[in-house]
């Protein structure tokens, strides 16, 4: 059971890392329209935008309209890093106590 929990932890950690990388790539691609409109750019956009759009509301949306600066990818990265560093460790320490 311990090896399964370690495998699951590493898998979720890797998924968070990969998704963070996709968010960074999408943010850089938004600066170059030719790349963001390619097939790969649209695919990354479809994967990343549902999560990042959660943070493009309220005051951040007003900031985007007023300044043209979109900080929602940074907020999304902070949330992913929090989940990755705090929530995963906390969850798997509880699961380890229950099942081991």
Q: Look at 4-8, 13-17, 47-51 and tell me which has the smallest mean pLDDT.
A: 4-8
Letter string b/e over residues 11-27, b meaning 16 or more CB atoms within 10 A of that residue's CB: ebbeebeebbebbeebb
List the domain range (segments joined by +) for residue 78. 1-99
Is the pLDDT at 100 greater than 80? The verdict is no
How many domains does the structure of the chain reveal? 1
The confidence score (pLDDT) of residue 94 equals 92
């Amino acid at each position: 059971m311990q090896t399964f929990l370690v495998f699951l932890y590493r898998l979720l950690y890797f998924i968070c890392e990969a998704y963070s990388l996709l968010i960074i790539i999408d943010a850089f691609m938004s600066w170059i329209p030719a790349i963001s409109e390619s097939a790969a750019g649209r695919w990354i956009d479809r994967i990343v935008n549902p999560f990042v759009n959660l943070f493009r509301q309220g005051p951040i949306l007003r900031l985007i309209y007023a300044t043209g600066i979109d900080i929602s990818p940074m907020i999304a990265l902070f949330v992913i890093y929090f989940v990755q560093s705090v929530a995963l460790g906390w969850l798997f320490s509880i699961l380890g106590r229950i099942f081991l």
